[in-house]
Amino acid sequence: MTDRASRKSNGQPGRVRTVLITGATDGIGLLLARAYAGRGHNVLATGRRVLADDQDLFDAPNIVYICADQSDPVHACSAIISAMQNMGWQHLDLAILNGATAWVGLPEQEPANGMKQLLDVNFRFQIHLAHALAPFLFEAAGRLVMIGSTATKKAQGRFATYTATKAGLDGLCRSLREEWLGRADVQIIHPGPTRTNMHAKAGLNIGLAKWFFMSPLRVASAIQYAIRRRDKRRVITRYFAFKARFSSAREGIL
């Protein structure tokens, strides 16, 4: 088998993969980075923070962190690509585009510059990065995974722009998946409400509702399960997260 063909047969255990995870300094992204590193893969983790010592946060030698602020997509993407080149990565097995922010409030009160920034962080960056990663993903017959949100299922009067960006990613993946058929896999995963700091960062106090939210650990393992199953579009419900508990990922498996 040629090198490229062996990379294509993704199911076989034991091979170290290259994994890129954006928004990996907190919440679901951080748990995903630790999980993939825990199974022995090489992880490139990105975020907006400047970390003095990233081992404090990640505590794994096979996670490399770089600062790539998504509010400047051009800059962030070139930082990510040069980091990949510096690490000698010529192909990419898995990219999880997870980093995002939210703004909460009535749509008529949303400041124009904040709106622009939200579109950059949650939507324009993802398009720029998918574009930049395409050759790396094609080389590995790898996968591009975008994180959406179940917010897109209903009208969200107080999260209109956030929800629009996630609906945009859903549509992007639907068409891109068809375009990339046979070259790389595209998946969109929509988590339900999860008990992370995302809401607090957006200025929303979720109060007691947090007990109805899913645990970030459960959601992170459900996302990995959906990735293993190669679901093209997966909504992470409580039931799906429960099912994910019965699937364990062996070492070396994505």
Partner 1 sequence: MKALVTGAAHGLGRALTEQLLASGHEVVAVDRDVEPLEKLAMKYRGACLACFADLQKVESIQNLLDRLQGSKFDLVILNAGISATGKFEEIPLQAYDRLISVNLGAPLHLASRLVGDEWMSAKSKIVFISSLSHVVGYPGGAVYAATKDAIASYAHSVAKPFRKKQVSVLTVFPGPIDTAHAQKHAPDQSSRSKRMAPEKLARLILKASRGRAKTLYPGGKTYLAACFGKLFPNQATRLMRRGLYDKMTGPSY
Ligand X SMILES: NC(=O)c1ccc[n+]([C@@H]2O[C@H](COP(=O)([O-])OP(=O)(O)OC[C@H]3O[C@@H](n4cnc5c(N)ncnc54)[C@H](OP(=O)(O)O)[C@@H]3O)[C@@H](O)[C@H]2O)c1
Residue ranges that bind ligand X, judged by CB under 6 A: 23-29, 47-49, 69-71, 98-101, 121, 147, 149, 191, 193-194, 196-198, 201
Site string for partner 1, 45-74 (x = CB under 8 A): -----------------------------x
What token pair was written down for 184? 């790389």
Q: Please, what is the angle between helix 125-140 and helix 73-86, to 10°?
A: 30
Q: How far is CA 223 from CA 60, 102, 132, 167, 219, in A?
A: 21, 20, 24, 18, 6
Residue of 180, 175, 223, 192 whose CA lies nearest to 19: 223
Q: Please report, as residue ranges, which positions from 169 to 188 form the binding site for partner 1 (by CB under 8 A).
A: 169-172, 174-176, 178-181
Nearest to 234 by CA among 245, 222, 242: 222
147 binds, among partner 1, ligand X, none (CB under 5 to 8 A by kind): ligand X
* 119 binds partner 1 per the rule CB under 8 A: yes
**Residue 159 in the binding site for partner 1 (CB under 8 A):** yes
List 4, 82, 87, 157, residue binding partner 1 (CB under 8 A)? 157
What, of partner 1, ligand X, none, does residue 179 touch, CB below 5 to 8 Å by kind? Answer: partner 1
**Which residues share a beta bridge with 189?**
147, 234
Binding status of residue 238 toward partner 1 by CB under 8 A: no
Q: Does 91 sit near partner 1 (CB under 8 A)?
A: no
Would you say how long the chain is, in residues? 254
Please tell me the distance from the alpha carbon of residue 190 to that of residue 90, in angstroms, as a whole number.
29
In terms of CB distance, is 146 or 244 closer to partner 1? 146
* Residues 122/151, Cβ–Cβ less than 8 Å: no
Q: Kindly state whether residue 134 participates in binding partner 1, applying the rule CB under 8 A.
A: yes
Binding track over 26-45 against partner 1, x by CB under 8 A: --------------------
Among 81, 104, 167, 235, binds partner 1 (CB under 8 A): 167
Q: Which among partner 1, ligand X, none contacts residue 94 (Cβ within 5 to 8 A by kind)? A: none
The nearest distance, CB 123 to ligand X, in angstroms, is 11
Rounded Cα–Cα distance for residues 252 and 9 (Å): 13
CB of 154 to partner 1, least distance (A): 8
Distance CA 208, CA 32 (A): 26
The DSSP-derived string for 164-175 is HHHHHHHHHHHH
Binds partner 1 by CB under 8 A, chosen from 79, 104, 160, 249: 160
Within the chain, strands assigned E span 18-21, 42-47, 63-67, 94-97, 143-147, 185-191, 233-236
Q: Residue numbers of the site for partner 1 (CB under 8 A)?
A: 74, 106-110, 112-113, 115-116, 119, 123-124, 127-128, 130-131, 134-135, 152, 155-161, 163-172, 174-176, 178-181
